[in-house]
Structure 1
Amino acid sequence: MSSLEEIIDQKIGEVRTESLDFSFGEIVNLHSNKELIIQPEYQRLFRWTDEQKSRLIESIILELPIPQIFVIENENGVFELIDGLQRVSSVIQFIDPSLLPPIPPEEKKLDHLVLQGCDLIKNLDGKTFKDLSLRLQLRIKRSSVRTVIIKRQSKSSLRYEMFKRLNTGGEILASQEIRNCSARILGEDGVEFYTFLLEMTDHATFKNCIETLAQADKEKKGDEELVLRFFAAKNAQDLFKGSVRDWLDDYMENIILKKIDFEYETEMENFRSLFAFINEIMGNGAFVKYRGNNPIGGLAPAYYEAITVGIFQVLEQIRNVQNDLVKQKIINTVQTERFRQYTGSGANKRDKLQGRIETIKNALLELV
């Protein structure tokens, strides 16, 4: 049996890294030549305010240390940035914003960064890159940042774990954004599942049913998380141990790593058929709370789980029931004390998850 030291040595050998000091001028050129890719699936651009970006530029000018960045070397030898995007994009915007993609949804091109909020050298406020002397421009371009390269020979599962640990708990990425990036890192099987999530998210009836999802959540891929959440609630309640984040992580990883079966064609048809039905019955009032017959508030995830899976489990039995009767039954049921006991405080427990789904299911069966 291998000793602990041998096991550790073997793990270390599965991931190969190299550390280099790249100047910011080199980074700008690499990005311009498409030798350094900033993948939108990895990290959304421009979470930093102009003040945060400006203080980074100020730190570079003052030759203060800048935290290292991480890139993955893909099969073509091209680097893909996986950690440090705010720093890199801030410097690129300051030097040459035309190299960065436009900002969705308006697709507005970025303007030159005008420094503001500099607290160590206040005279920098109001300056653009072109306003600086050649000496200061060159100082910025020649300043270096330690770059850790995860080599393409590294085992994909180790690259994946490294990405999760770099980003979990940080403010740069939300949970679903981390899952999406992690999926890409795991290779073709991960890309296949991520592409599937995107296709389901783009389905018109699903979009209408989750219209009440907050815009801030949509910007953090909350709609994609809802797709994943439906399949997890339908197929993997046994994996739920109290943390929604861990539950969805585990379910997605198990699919990508082929630890559990996922029939794409069947699941796609299930999803589309279900949301066509829900959209016809409830529309954008499907997953909100009610006071009487009046919808209130935004999308409630616990209601979403209960209604989607509860309906799915009896869909064939209730297809011929009048739409108005199904709608009224759901509206009445989510206001019952029984349903509320499964969605209130402490709702993130497996028995509560199962209880709220069963409540919707059993209520609908009363119509048959």
Structure 2
Amino acid sequence: MKLIDELKERVKEFKTDGYPMSIGEIINLYENREIIINPKFQRYFRWTDFQKSRLIESIFLGIPTPAIFVYQREDGVWELVDGLQRISTILEFVGKLRDENQLTSDGKAIIMPKLKLKATKLLPSFQDVEWEDEPTVDSAIPRSLQLDFKRSKIKVEIIQKESDVNAKFEVFERLNTGGTFLSPQEVRNCVLVMLREEWLVWLESLSKLESFQNCIPLTDRALDERYDMELALKYLGLMRYELQGRDVTDFLNDCVQDLFNVANIANNTEFENFKKLFDLLNAALGESSFRRFQGQKHTGRFLDSAFEPITIGLGSNLSDYDLSNSKDIELIKEKIESLWELPDFLNNMGSGSNAKIRIPRLIALGKIHFKK
């Protein structure tokens, strides 16, 4: 049976083990660099002090916490795949969390300030309490409670080194996609760190281009969740692959590995083409490039359904346009504005449109529309 054969094949890709470990053991592994938290992940450590305090409260009260997932490398070191916020909170609480992005003069990572707890519903006396190695004041966790804390256990699920090389990416994506603390693009960024960190740096450099940022007037929240990087990834993906009926989120998740794990996309030509595209759009319409055109003016917010056909349409015909030619700039402006008069374009716009149907139709339209 085909299903049984598929399951047998996929199961071979995941070799796992798991057992409870004391918090004290996990702290020791971290101090000895036998468990690694990738420093790039720390930008996604976004819990508030109250959320952190709730986790510490749960541990003290003996409330079970979800398992953490680690990937065992060939050298035996564990890479933390899922559980960043929990493990980072514990390390911050006991004063052991390193900031690998800030080094001392002798090249050692700076230790981040200890977490000062906030009052919780069940433990209001948590307010302003912190961990002290030699607790001598009322605001310190008593020694007996410190020992209880270190002896508390967390389940550790180990993705063993015999697993398929993509197993840790699959686990991370499954556990985090749709979560409340990481946006879909932040999950992809973490996966990119696992794949090849320089790819993430390159994608981020695209998203920071001034002309690109000028053309995508996003909210602060969208920028904080790295939606600008998602748009850059969407452009790169749609220029190369067809959606083929996939959900856009699934398509972009696949693009992370297809683009950056297989193709050598991070090159100067790719960068210059991306830059030229958004330099042209910025010169033509700037922040109005992807806004609705109606009544002789652009209004409203940034629209994904305009971004897709305009960028892929113009990008597919990029060699036809010259940034130094004012007539080309004016032509791009006219073509974007004339899109809003086309019934095929308007009929596929709007929040109620199905992206699986909308995107292929609008991209095909855009490729034709932006031909000279």
TM norm. shorter chain > 0.5: yes
Measured against aligned partners, the alpha-carbon deviations of 1:108-163 in whole angstroms (never above 9, x if no partner) come to: 99653232241222222332223121111222222221111212221113333222
By how many angstroms is 1:257 displaced?
Answer: 6.0
Do residues 277 (structure 1) and 276 (structure 2) align? no
> Counterparts of 2:264 and 2:113 in 1: how far apart (Å)?
48
Alpha carbons of 1:286 and 1:30: their partners in 2 closer, same or farther (altered >3 Å)?
A: farther
Aligned partner of residue 218 in structure 1, secondary structure: helix
Aligned partner of residue 166 in structure 2, secondary structure: helix
Are the counterparts in 2 of residues 214 and 298 from structure 1 also a CA contact under 8 Å?
A: no
Alpha carbons of 1:264 and 1:94: their partners in 2 closer, same or farther (altered >3 Å)?
A: same
Moved more, 62-71 or 74-83: 74-83
1:119 equivalent in structure 2 = 121
Aligned partner of residue 129 in structure 1, secondary structure: coil
Are the counterparts in 2 of residues 32 and 99 from structure 1 also a CA contact under 8 Å?
A: no
Measured against aligned partners, the alpha-carbon deviations of 1:220-246 in whole angstroms (never above 9, x if no partner) come to: 22222111111222222x324262112
Moved more, 49-58 or 191-200: 191-200
Moved more, 40-49 or 278-287: 40-49
Matched AA of 1:245: T
> Counterparts of 2:180 and 2:268 in 1: how far apart (Å)?
36
Written as runs of structure 1 = structure 2, the 5 A alignment for 1:28-39 is 28-39=27-38
1:67 equivalent in structure 2 = 66
Alpha carbons of 1:110 and 1:102: their partners in 2 closer, same or farther (altered >3 Å)?
A: farther
Aligned partner of residue 69 in structure 2, secondary structure: strand
Determine which of 221, 226, 230 is the counterpart of 1:225. 230
2:350 equivalent in structure 1 = 344
Matched AA of 1:182: V
Matched AA of 1:137: Q
> Counterparts of 2:336 and 2:121 in 1: how far apart (Å)?
55
Moved more, 146-155 or 342-351: 342-351
Matched AA of 2:36: I
Are the counterparts in 2 of residues 55 and 118 from structure 1 also a CA contact under 8 Å?
A: yes
Matched AA of 2:124: K
Aligned partner of residue 81 in structure 2, secondary structure: strand
Are the counterparts in 1 of residues 36 and 77 from structure 2 also a CA contact under 8 Å?
A: yes
> Counterparts of 2:311 and 2:182 in 1: how far apart (Å)?
27
Root-mean-square deviation (Å): 3.4
2:135 equivalent in structure 1 = none
Do residues 254 (structure 1) and 258 (structure 2) align? yes
Aligned partner of residue 282 in structure 2, secondary structure: helix
2:152 equivalent in structure 1 = 143
Matched AA of 2:224: E
Aligned partner of residue 82 in structure 1, secondary structure: strand
Written as runs of structure 1 = structure 2, the 5 A alignment for 1:167-182 is 167-182=176-191
1:53 equivalent in structure 2 = 52
By how many angstroms is 1:289 displaced?
Answer: 3.2
What is the aligned length? 355
2:307 equivalent in structure 1 = 304
By how many angstroms is 1:41 displaced?
Answer: 4.6
Matched AA of 2:334: K
Measured against aligned partners, the alpha-carbon deviations of 1:152-175 in whole angstroms (never above 9, x if no partner) come to: 221113333222222223223222
Are the counterparts in 2 of residues 214 and 299 from structure 1 also a CA contact under 8 Å?
A: no
Aligned partner of residue 60 in structure 1, secondary structure: helix
Matched AA of 1:251: C
Moved more, 298-307 or 282-291: 282-291
Are the counterparts in 1 of residues 17 and 160 from structure 2 also a CA contact under 8 Å?
A: yes
Aligned partner of residue 154 in structure 2, secondary structure: strand
By how many angstroms is 1:266 displaced?
Answer: 4.5
Gaps of 5+ in 2: 103-109, 133-139
1:99 equivalent in structure 2 = 98
Written as runs of structure 1 = structure 2, the 5 A alignment for 1:234-245 is 234-236=239-241, 238-241=242-245, 243-245=247-249
Are the counterparts in 2 of residues 41 and 180 from structure 1 also a CA contact under 8 Å?
A: no
> Counterparts of 2:82 and 2:266 in 1: how far apart (Å)?
33
2:215 equivalent in structure 1 = 209
Aligned partner of residue 128 in structure 2, secondary structure: coil
Matched AA of 1:129: W
Seq. identity, %: 33
Matched AA of 2:331: V
Alpha carbons of 1:205 and 1:244: their partners in 2 closer, same or farther (altered >3 Å)?
A: same
Are the counterparts in 2 of residues 240 and 349 from structure 1 also a CA contact under 8 Å?
A: no
Are the counterparts in 2 of residues 73 and 152 from structure 1 also a CA contact under 8 Å?
A: yes
Alpha carbons of 1:350 and 1:132: their partners in 2 closer, same or farther (altered >3 Å)?
A: closer
Give the structure-1-normalised TM-score.
0.81
Are the counterparts in 1 of residues 248 and 356 from structure 2 also a CA contact under 8 Å?
A: no
2:13 equivalent in structure 1 = 14
Are the counterparts in 1 of residues 81 and 168 from structure 2 also a CA contact under 8 Å?
A: no
> Counterparts of 2:334 and 2:118 in 1: how far apart (Å)?
56
Written as runs of structure 1 = structure 2, the 5 A alignment for 1:294-333 is 295-319=298-322, 320=325, 322=327, 325-326=330-331, 328-330=333-335, 332-333=337-338
Alpha carbons of 1:351 and 1:69: their partners in 2 closer, same or farther (altered >3 Å)?
A: closer
Aligned partner of residue 18 in structure 2, secondary structure: strand
> Counterparts of 2:370 and 2:15 in 1: how far apart (Å)?
55
